[in-house]
Structures are given as structure tokens and as C-alpha cells.
């Protein structure tokens, strides 16, 4: 960012900084003359103050400019007060009066030119185009002393002062075009409209500020990122050319620039230069700049030349003196500056409300996040699914290096209270935030929310169905077992689990039949209570029911997932009898009817497979389960090849 005192050849003179046009700039671009389209890279509010000194015979200091700017979305508004934009001339007419006492008084005239106020408006039509206009208010005053004789009783001569004022407005328009990120083209009018003028006398009309219409064409080019080259040409045959460059320093930037200008009314060919040095950060900028003219700026000039050529520009003309200017710009961004961008989000998992715990460990969406800054940032992703989450659900934070793009995982939490009877499309809002409460970016995506009974087909996720309805299962199991209290009380402890399993299974199957899922439906799993109420289900439903009932009374179970089998999937249940291998004969003499698994202490325990779709009796179910298990899991090495998988519930 460079603050540079910009003199635009002849027609305009700009003391505030030209920040350049690249996205590094966050400060004010307040230059009506170079850019009436004036689309500023200012994010919100901006305040600029220019204070300078002029080096004539003595040093005169003044506030040149005070401006306030505001950006509203794609609109930009700027107001400025320019008390220092003035030029005065003192004209010794050459006439003097010799009074009676021989004193001599010279008649003087004074011409004063001021630009007092200005306002600018611009609008960003697109990323490539912006346009705007400016209005500036000028005032001129011509005070001419003349001799006047008074014919009374005696004749006297007095000096009379006659003043004539002229106030007027100038309006200009302009357009900026960004054909690429590195080039800016601009065109604007000079003195396109002038109105509000007073009719001046012929002599003063000749001295009035020249308002010839012209156009200004500009080009700015960034050959490399931190170097900007500028050229502006006016159709009045004046031009200026220069460069800006900057370096990162701490949290800010140090900049330097130099501009040379040619003005057709000034000599030599390059009439002067404007060196500038600046420092800026996100909050403020300061620039020290100056104007150095290459010709001797005599303080006494020819009136006839002035009368002939007139004055076109108040601040930059052949009568201007060298200057030094300090410009301060303060930016107040009430609008959050975007640090990261959420480029895209991919939904990788549908939402199955019953599989609530799944989404705590597995993301349901992955986002692509781009760091727009050059520094590393800590990104906080969060999301909210409509109809599922009442609050935003925070996902793990991630650090992204400057200008880097990473994948961010979005997790969610499905409350127990969520109940969906059918599958529907919902919307998920994804947010990424770096600081503060406002997100830097957000995106909304459609997400499929399945019904409570929907299942993703993954047998390991059947455990969520098993665990979800444990209250029902407990009550149901207890009710069954209560009818066999006497029998259970007489059993040895080590056989308790086995016989409970048998009792529960035999009681359960009395009212159950095997039924498949409805045609053309996605996977559908019934909760235990539903299977009991519906009096039937498929292998998933029956396995869930049986496992749930056993688990509710403390009997450990596992699901056996038979995967391949010509594409027909099957699941049944393994139950833990808690019997040691040497106790196997308490339940069977056939050692192929059980399967040993180690418990958490490393001790072998006897597990028996039960085919839950075999609804005759427990023994048949056990036999069928054993047959299938021995065949596919053991003999066909299904466990080894992972075509058969044992999934513990807990």
C-alpha cells in the first residue's frame, strides 16, 4: 500500500494517497481526479487527513484535506473538505496614486481560487467494472482596487475596492476496468459539467479558472506482485508516470514510490517529481510525500502570462511551490474481514438418526477451506442440520497455513429426542470461522436424513438399534424370565446365562414369524419393541431383538455378519454362555456346537451361535446357527478372509 501524493499532470492534483488497486490494499482510495469511479478497496469506514507545508519565501502550513468515506456493500461514498486547496495571487496593477502629501499608494488586485468541498460516489458493477462520479465545489474571488475621484467642494481621489465572486460546481464521471488481477484501466472526464456559475465581468471572466473539457486515461500494471507501474495521460497533453513498491515489515507494510509529471503549462518537460514513503497496517497508514518542481519558482510572475494562460489547476500550476505533505488514513472496519473461504462441502454420509454415536467419530461431511491470508490461521468449523440440531455443532479446529487449502471434517451430534418417521431431504449449514462470532464463510448443502428405522447396511451399526431400545428389552426379558424364576433359581450359576438365553429365545419365538423388509425400500431395521409388536421381522430385526433382550439382562452377545453368499447378506447372533471350555459338556457333548472366544482377561469362554430366523425352538436355532457358522466362518475360512465378521455389541 503506498500513500502517494498524486498530481495528475495538469488538470488535477491529488494530495491523498493512491493505495493502488491490488487486494493488498485495505485503505482509502480517495482520489476523485484519477478515479471518479473511485471504487475503493476500503472495507467499511475510512478517515483521511492531509497536512502539508508549502515552501515559498516562508513556510506556510495547512490542512489540505479532511475526508470521510464509507462503503456499503458495492457502494462507496466519500466526502471531503479541502481547506488547503487554494491559490492566491496578488497583482500589482502598476497603478499608483500620488496623494497631496506626496505619499504614494499602489493599487493592488487579489485573485483567490479555492476548492472547498467534494463528494464522490462509486458503484462496483462486477469484479471487473466499477463506475462513479464526483462533485466538487469551487469558489473564486476577484478583488480589484481602482481609483475613484470624488467631486465635491474639492476634488479628491480615493482608492475603491471592488470584489466579484464566482461559486460553481464541477462534475465528472469515470470508469475502472480490471481486465486481469494485474492491470487496471481507467477513463474519466475532466470538467464534463460545470454549473452554478455567476456572470463575471469581462476582465474577471478571463481570469476565472479554466474549465476546458478533456479526458483522462490511466493504466496501472503489476508486473510482479509488489511493484505497481502507473501512467496517466490527459488529452490536454499532460501526463504523469510513476511506480509504487512495498515490503512486508512486521504486521504492516513499508512502501515507497516516485512519480514524475509533465504539464504542458510548466517547464521543463518533466516539471517535477513526487517522492513518497509510507507505512501502513490494517488500522492506519501514514505517508510522507513531497512535490519538487524542477524550475525556479519565482514569487513574482508576469501578469500578462497569467492573463493569457489562466489557471487550470489550483494546486499544481506554474505558480505552485514545493510542498511536503503528511497524510494519515485510519480505517475502521466494522465489517469482518474474510480470512478463510469455504470453497465446497461434500456430504459423505447420509444421516441415520439411530446411528447417532457414529457421527461423533466419523464426519458426515468434508469441506474444502482456503486460507485467504498469508499467515497461518486457526479455523473453527461448525455445522447445523435443520431438523436435527437445535444448535451449531462444533467440529475439531484445524490450523491452515497461509494461502493453503485443506479438507475440514464436519461431525454432528444427533440428540436422543430426534424422531424421524420417514426419509426426507433437509439442509445443513456449514460455517468456518477464524475469529469472533461472525463466520468468515458459510455454505448450505442438502443432506438426506433417513428415518429412525433406516439402516446403512453395515452390520456393525446394528448395535445402535440394539442399544437404543434397551428399556423395552429389559422389561420384556424380565417378564419372560420371571415366569421361570423357580427353574432358574435351582440352576448352577455357571449355567444361568445359557438357560436364560434358551428361555428367552423359546419364549420369544412363540409369537414371531420371519418376514422380509418391504420391497423397494432402503434397509429397514425394527427396534426390538417394534419386532415384538409386529410379531416378526427379517434376520436383522430378529437378531437385533434377540441380542437386545440378552444384553438387557447382562448376557454378552455378538452379531455374526455373513457378507458374501452370492450377494445375500445374513446376520445372526453369537451369545456368551460364560462357560469355560472344560464346562462345555454341561450343555453339549459336541464340541462343534460352540466356539471359544477370549474374554478381556484372556480366558476362553464358550460362545454359541444362534440362528434367529429359525423360529421352531432354541435347539434348532442353535443347531442351524452352528451349522452355518462352522461352514462359512470356520471351514470356508470366512473369519480369516473377513467374509464373516463377528461384531461385539459393546
Partner 1 sequence: MKHFTKYLILFIILLMINGCDKPAPTELVQEEDPLEIELITKDTEDELYSSGYDSTGVVYNPSRGFANIITVSGIKTSYRNSTFSTSHAQAIFFDKSSQVLSPDGRLIGFHTRILGNVDFNTKSAKLREFRIWFKDRITGNIKDTLLGFRHILHHKPLNQDDNFNFRYNSSVSFDFDPVIGNPVHFNIPTPSEINGLIRFEGQGNNLAGSISWNAGAPGHFEIIIGGSHRGNHKVFPLYRLKTRDDGRLEIPKGLLNHIPLNRFERFVFSIIRKNEFHIENNDNDLFILSQSIHSLVVDIP
Q: Residues in the site for partner 1, rule: CB under 8 A?
A: 49, 51, 54, 56-58, 60-63, 66, 83-84, 86-100, 104, 110, 146-151, 153-157, 160, 299-304, 306, 319, 321, 330
CB 244 within 8 A of CB 216: no
Any residues with CB less than 8 A from the CB of 25 and at least 6 apart, and which?
1, 19, 41
**Minimum distance from CB of 309 to partner 1 (Å)?**
12
Ordered strands of the 405-410 beta sheet: 340-347, 365-371, 405-410
**Minimum distance from CB of 239 to partner 1 (Å)?**
25
Tell the residue number behind the cell numbers 457421527, with chain if given: 359
CA distance 417 to 558: 27
Q: How many CB atoms lie within 10 A of CB 610?
A: 29
CA distance 309 to 61: 28
CA distance 205 to 622: 116
**Minimum distance from CB of 448 to partner 1 (Å)?**
47
CA distance 42 to 324: 25
CA distance 60 to 57: 9
- Closer residue to partner 1 (CB): 15 or 550: 15
Tell the residue number behind the cell numbers 468434508, with chain if given: 366
Map residue 268 onto helix, strand or coil: coil
CA distance 535 to 533: 5
**Cα 517 from chain centroid (whole Å):** 47
**Minimum distance from CB of 376 to partner 1 (Å)?**
26
- Closer residue to partner 1 (CB): 92 or 590: 92
CB 56 within 8 A of CB 50: no
What is the gyration radius of the CA atoms in the chain, in angstroms?
A: 44
- Closer residue to partner 1 (CB): 81 or 129: 81
- Closer residue to partner 1 (CB): 92 or 390: 92
Any residues with CB less than 8 A from the CB of 233 and at least 6 apart, and which?
9, 216, 217, 218, 239
Any residues with CB less than 8 A from the CB of 503 and at least 6 apart, and which?
480, 481, 484, 487, 488
Alpha helix ranges (H) inside 345-389: 358-361
- Closer residue to partner 1 (CB): 92 or 405: 92
**Minimum distance from CB of 49 to partner 1 (Å)?**
6
**Minimum distance from CB of 303 to partner 1 (Å)?**
4
**Minimum distance from CB of 55 to partner 1 (Å)?**
9
- Closer residue to partner 1 (CB): 106 or 521: 106
Residue 585 grid cell: 459338556
**Minimum distance from CB of 58 to partner 1 (Å)?**
6
Map residue 313 onto helix, strand or coil: coil
Any residues with CB less than 8 A from the CB of 297 and at least 6 apart, and which?
56, 319, 320, 321, 322
- Closer residue to partner 1 (CB): 298 or 598: 298
**Minimum distance from CB of 47 to partner 1 (Å)?**
8
**Minimum distance from CB of 333 to partner 1 (Å)?**
12
- Closer residue to partner 1 (CB): 289 or 371: 289
Provide the β-strand partners of residue 404.
Answer: none
Closest CA to 320 of 245, 261, 381: 261
**Minimum distance from CB of 151 to partner 1 (Å)?**
5
Terminal alpha carbon distance of the chain? 62
**Cα 211 from chain centroid (whole Å):** 45
- Closer residue to partner 1 (CB): 53 or 496: 53
- Closer residue to partner 1 (CB): 123 or 321: 321
Closest CA to 443 of 433, 456, 429, 453: 429
**Minimum distance from CB of 83 to partner 1 (Å)?**
7
- Closer residue to partner 1 (CB): 62 or 506: 62
Greatest distance between any 2 Cα atoms in the chain: 157
**Minimum distance from CB of 66 to partner 1 (Å)?**
8
**Minimum distance from CB of 240 to partner 1 (Å)?**
22
Exposure pattern of 42-73 as b/e (b: 16+ CB <10 Å)?
A: bbbbbebebbbbbeeeeeeebebbbbebebee
- Closer residue to partner 1 (CB): 292 or 478: 292
- Closer residue to partner 1 (CB): 317 or 371: 317
- Closer residue to partner 1 (CB): 59 or 640: 59
Amino acid at each position: 500500500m503506498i500513500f502517494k501524493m498524486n498530481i495528475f499532470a495538469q488538470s488535477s492534483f491529488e494530495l491523498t494517497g493512491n493505495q493502488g488497486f491490488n487486494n493488498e490494499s485495505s485503505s482509502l482510495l480517495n482520489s476523485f481526479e484519477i478515479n471518479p469511479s473511485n471504487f475503493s478497496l476500503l472495507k467499511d469506514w475510512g478517515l483521511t487527513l492531509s497536512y502539508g507545508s508549502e515552501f515559498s519565501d516562508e513556510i506556510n502550513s495547512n490542512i489540505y484535506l479532511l475526508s470521510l468515506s464509507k462503503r456499503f456493500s458495492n457502494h462507496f461514498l466519500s466526502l471531503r473538505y479541502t481547506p488547503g486547496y487554494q491559490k492566491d495571487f496578488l497583482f500589482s496593477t502598476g497603478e499608483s496614486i500620488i496623494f497631496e502629501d506626496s505619499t504614494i499608494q499602489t493599487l493592488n488586485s487579489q485573485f483567490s481560487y479555492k476548492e472547498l468541498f467534494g463528494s464522490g460516489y462509486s458503484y462496483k458493477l462486477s469484479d471487473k467494472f466499477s463506475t462513479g462520479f464526483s462533485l466538487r465545489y469551487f469558489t473564486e474571488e476577484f478583488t480589484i482596487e481602482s481609483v475613484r475621484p470624488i467631486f465635491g467642494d474639492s476634488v479628491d481621489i480615493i482608492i475603491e475596492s471592488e470584489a466579484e465572486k464566482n461559486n460553481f460546481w464541477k462534475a465528472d464521471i469515470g470508469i475502472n476496468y480490471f481486465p486481469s488481477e494485474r492491470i487496471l484501466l481507467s477513463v474519466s472526464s475532466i470538467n464534463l459539467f460545470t454549473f452554478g456559475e455567476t456572470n463575471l465581468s469581462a476582465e474577471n471572466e478571463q481570469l476565472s479558472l479554466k474549465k476546458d473539457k478533456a479526458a483522462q486515461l490511466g493504466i496501472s500494471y503489476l508486473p510482479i506482485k509488489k511493484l505497481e507501474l502507473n501512467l496517466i495521460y490527459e488529452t490536454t497533453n499532460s501526463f504523469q508516470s510513476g511506480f509504487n513498491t512495498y515490503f512486508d515489515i512486521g504486521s504492516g507494510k513499508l512502501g515507497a514510490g516516485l512519480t514524475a509529471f509533465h504539464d504542458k503549462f510548466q517547464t521543463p518537460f518533466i516539471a517535477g517529481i513526487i517522492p513518497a514513503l509510507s507505512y501502513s497496517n490494517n488500522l492506519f497508514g501514514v505517508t510522507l510525500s513531497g512535490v519538487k518542481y524542477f524550475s525556479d519558482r519565482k514569487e513574482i510572475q508576469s501578469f500578462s502570462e497569467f492573463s493569457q494562460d489562466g489557471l487550470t489547476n489550483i494546486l499544481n500550476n506554474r505558480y505552485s511551490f514545493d510542498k511536503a505533505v503528511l497524510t494519515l488514513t485510519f480505517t475502521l472496519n466494522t465489517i469482518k474481514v474474510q480470512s478463510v473461504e469455504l470453497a465446497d462441502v461434500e456430504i459423505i454420509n447420509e444421516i441415520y438418526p439411530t446411528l447417532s454415536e457414529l457421527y461423533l467419530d466419523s464426519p458426515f461431511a468434508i469441506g474444502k477451506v482456503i486460507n485467504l491470508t498469508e499467515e497461518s490461521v486457526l479455523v473453527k468449523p461448525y455445522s447445523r442440520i435443520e431438523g436435527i440440531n437445535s444448535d451449531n455443532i462444533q467440529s475439531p479446529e484445524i490450523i491452515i497455513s497461509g494461502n493453503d487449502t485443506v479438507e475440514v471434517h464436519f461431525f454432528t451430534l444427533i440428540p436422543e429426542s430426534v424422531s424421524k418417521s420417514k426419509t426426507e431431504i433437509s439442509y445443513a449449514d456449514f460455517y468456518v470461522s477464524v475469529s469472533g462470532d461472525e463466520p468468515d464463510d458459510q455454505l448450505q448443502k442438502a443432506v438426506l436424513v433417513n428415518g429412525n428405522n433406516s439402516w446403512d447396511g453395515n452390520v456393525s451399526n446394528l448395535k445402535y438399534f440394539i442399544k437404543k431400545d434397551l428399556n423395552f428389552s429389559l422389561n420384556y426379558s424380565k417378564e419372560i424370565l420371571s415366569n421361570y424364576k423357580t427353574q432358574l433359581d435351582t440352576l448352577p450359576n455357571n449355567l444361568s446365562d445359557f438357560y436364560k438365553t434358551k428361555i428367552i429365545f423359546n419364549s420369544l419365538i412363540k409369537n414371531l414369524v420371519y418376514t422380509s423388509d418391504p420391497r423397494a425400500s432402503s434397509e429397514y431395521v425394527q427396534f426390538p419393541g417394534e419386532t415384538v409388536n409386529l410379531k416378526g421381522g427379517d434376520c436383522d430385526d430378529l437378531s437385533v431383538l434377540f441380542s437386545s433382550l440378552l444384553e438387557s439382562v447382562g448376557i454378552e452377545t455378538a452379531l455374526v455378519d455373513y457378507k458374501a453368499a452370492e450377494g445375500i447378506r445374513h446376520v445372526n447372533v453369537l451369545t456368551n454362555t460364560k462357560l469355560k471350555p472344560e464346562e462345555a459338556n454341561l450343555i453339549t457333548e459336541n464340541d462343534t456346537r460352540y466356539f471359544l472366544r477370549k474374554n478381556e482377561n484372556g480366558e476362553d469362554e464358550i460362545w454359541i451361535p444362534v440362528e434367529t430366523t429359525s423360529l421352531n425352538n432354541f435347539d434348532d436355532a442353535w443347531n442351524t446357527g452352528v451349522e452355518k457358522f462352522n461352514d462359512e466362518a470356520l471351514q470356508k475360512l470366512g473369519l480369516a478372509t473377513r467374509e464373516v465378521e463377528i461384531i461385539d455389541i459393546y
